[in-house]
Amino acid sequence: MRNFGRTNQWKNLLASRAVLVFLGIVFLIFAWNVFGLWGKMRETSRNREMVENKINDLKQEKEELSFSITTLKTEEGIEENIRDRYGFGKEGEGLIVIVDEDKAEVPLEANTGGFWSFLANLFK
């Protein structure tokens, strides 16, 4: 009978309001931390995607640079680079220069001579 009374005391103690409030507070703290970790997990996955994209971009840039290096090791590649950079051409080869219209404007001369200089320049 004594054992029955002791187990009944534990049940009463665990079912008391103070213990239930304490357990509720502990549960809320755990729930709050779980939601915090969930948010950090989402942010980490976004950061991982950004880093993977950057790694892919860097790999592509590395391939392009290695291709440029291999082409610059040949004479044709060096010649093409010099032509692009400095605008040179081979002998007997024509070169086309494209000029922007904004930069090709010719400044107008000031009218200093008047009407008679206009007539004189008209017939030149």
* 20, 27, 45, 79 from 33: Cα distances, Å: 20, 10, 18, 64
86-90 CB contacts, 8 Å cutoff, 24+ apart: none
Which tokens in the block code for residue 56?
């892919």
Q: What is the pLDDT along the chain (124 residues), one digit of tens a residue?
A: 456 556 677 777 777 888 889 999 999 999 999 999 999 999 999 999 999 999 999 999 999 999 999 999 999 898 888 888 887 777 777 777 788 777 555 555 555 667 777 777 777 6
Query: What is the predicted pLDDT for the residue at 93?
Result: 77
- Decide if 77 contacts 83 (C-beta within 8 A): no
